[in-house]
Amino acid sequence: MNELIQKGIAAKKAAKVLNRTSTEQKNRALAAMAEQLLSNTAFLLEENEKDLENARQQNTSAAIMDRLSLSEKRIQEMAEGLRQVIELADPVGEVMETFTRPNGLRIEKVRVPLGVAGIIYEARPNVTVDAAALCLKTGNAAYLRGSSSAIHSNKAIIHLIQNALEEAGLPKEAVQLLEDTSYETSNQMLRLNQYLDVLIPRGGAGLITHVVQNATVPVLETGVGNCHIYVDESAQLDMAINIMLNAKTQRPGVCNAVETVLLHPEWAKQNLDAAIDALEAKGVEIRTCEKTRALKPGLKAAVEADWESEFLDLILAVRTVDLDEAISHIEQYGSGHSECILTENQENAERFLREIDAAAVYHNASTRFTDGFEFGFGAEIGISTQKLHARGPMGLKELTSYKYLLHGQGQTR
């Protein structure tokens, strides 16, 4: 029996145990996970360095290196994320709705785990911890398939997580890693309907598209982030520059970083120089439309692909448009992730919030807040850009389904 099937069988068995596990026991396991990470920081950094060295030899981009890297601070943040999940309410067993039919039949709608969640992701070792935490808290077994680029880091994290599960009296198979990262085995995982209840891809557009198009297991789609900021005529200069800098430069290699800034013509006439100077001072490469270059000659010309791109780097496309054109541009190129308007005009803000079709739409705030932690959900499993069955940051409730419990006194139909 190969690894894929063997671990699938084990995950299904573990999910049955988790389905009847108390909140207290799940929280003990999460606390033990946090302690395992902190007390084995040196081991994790040592294993992560093996992945980083392999990445250096392959001339991996700075953005991917950032996603791949662990540090003492990031390990502490992962442990803190686990502890925050402990503090969150357990959604399993929550009675969502109760109603009684005319015949006296009482019906309850109750949250239940999904079962076994297969998660396919790239680079980021922290996803291993996030996925384990959220799946465990919601009574789901986690069947993880990370990328070969992070295999040493992921194996080390899983080893510590499984130690914690056993310490808490739970089956270690509740969180498993598919160590065979071959393309063939990954494709087989997409069709593992007998053992997986849902698939969640986290990564670039290529990975997500491949999973959606080839999986027979139901998919919770996490989307790429071609995010926009529209700077309206009345936008405050200091606020606009601070938000653009934060959204582009704080961490450019993540899905909620801004990729295109759209400027109202009147705002651009007065403030373009200041905005471009601030961005370039932070090392941002600017690619612009013809109207923008007419206001500030010498800037690099954007090509069609730039409007479509999730750069995940210190590159920013800039276009000068009015509000109608901005909405049309986002409709054409946006990925449905996070979109923002900066304006003091309440009517324009309300129109933008109403008409833009995205998981998160902002008024006068950075797109970097589209995040489970920032929303108060704790660690997240990803950002969904689809509309069924979850949208936006997916926390605990998004990893549950529901069933109906019916209470009668002998009713027949």
pLDDT digits (tens, 9 = 90+) for 199-250: 999 888 889 999 999 999 999 988 789 999 999 999 999 999 999 999 999 9
Q: Which domain holds residue 353?
A: 227-369
Question: Would you state the pLDDT for residue 34?
Answer: 98
CATH code, 38? 3.40.605.10
Residue from 347, 86, 100 nearest 233 by CA? 347
Task: Identify whether 311 is part of a domain.
Answer: yes
Do residues 401 and 285 share a domain?
A: no
Q: Is 301 exposed, middle or buried (0-12, 13-18, 19+ CB in 10 A)?
A: exposed
Instruction: Give 379's pLDDT tier (boundaries 50, 70, 90).
Output: low
Do residues 203 and 232 share a domain?
A: no
C-alpha radius of gyration, the chain, whole number: 23
Do residues 39 and 128 share a domain?
A: yes
Task: Inform me whether the pLDDT recorded for 84 exceeds 80.
Answer: yes
User: What are the tens digits of pLDDT across the range 326-358?
Assistant: 999 999 999 999 999 999 999 999 999 999 999
**What is the C-alpha to C-alpha distance for residues 282 and 280, in angstroms, rounded to an integer?**
5
> Strands 227-231 and 338-342: what pairing?
parallel
- Residue 333: how many CB atoms within 10 A of its CB? 18
- State the number of CA atoms in the 13 A half-sphere of 185 facing the CB: 19
Do residues 234 and 107 share a domain?
A: no
User: What are the tens digits of pLDDT across the range 95-128?
Assistant: 999 999 999 999 999 999 999 999 999 888 999 9
Question: Would you state the pLDDT for residue 395?
Answer: 87
